[in-house]
Structure 1
């Protein structure tokens, strides 16, 4: 089964390799990821985050920014593992 993230062999444009400054949001999501995957907390693994991101719909995968995808994946994993209730989180949605 081909998933949205699997773009191998498809025609693609040029990759933008320019460096950009991380936003405050990007840094906060990265820090949250580091805390939740640290050996002391180990709420989930990098592989679980990747699995969750790779299961996103096409609208979410392409409609959310890189760090928005991370945040949504971590939110879904926290719910899946019973750390929080879904109603307690405002999960980012891709814009239509």
Structure 2
């Protein structure tokens, strides 16, 4: 329950700032809110710094967030597969 309130705040912040909110679709906003809070909350939404942080945090992101990022074109399925393969050494 502890994570529900921060997630709601992040989603509200995404919706309150149109230029930042437009940078991410609804699926990413919903699926990645906790990942954002856990890994990259020091970066403003829609910035190159946030994108770099989320890429660096990639192995720690939840499968739901990764799937949403792929579905909305933020990262390619090929890149995700390559990163997973290199992480497992295959």
Normalising by structure 1, what TM-score? 0.34
Normalising by structure 2, what TM-score? 0.36
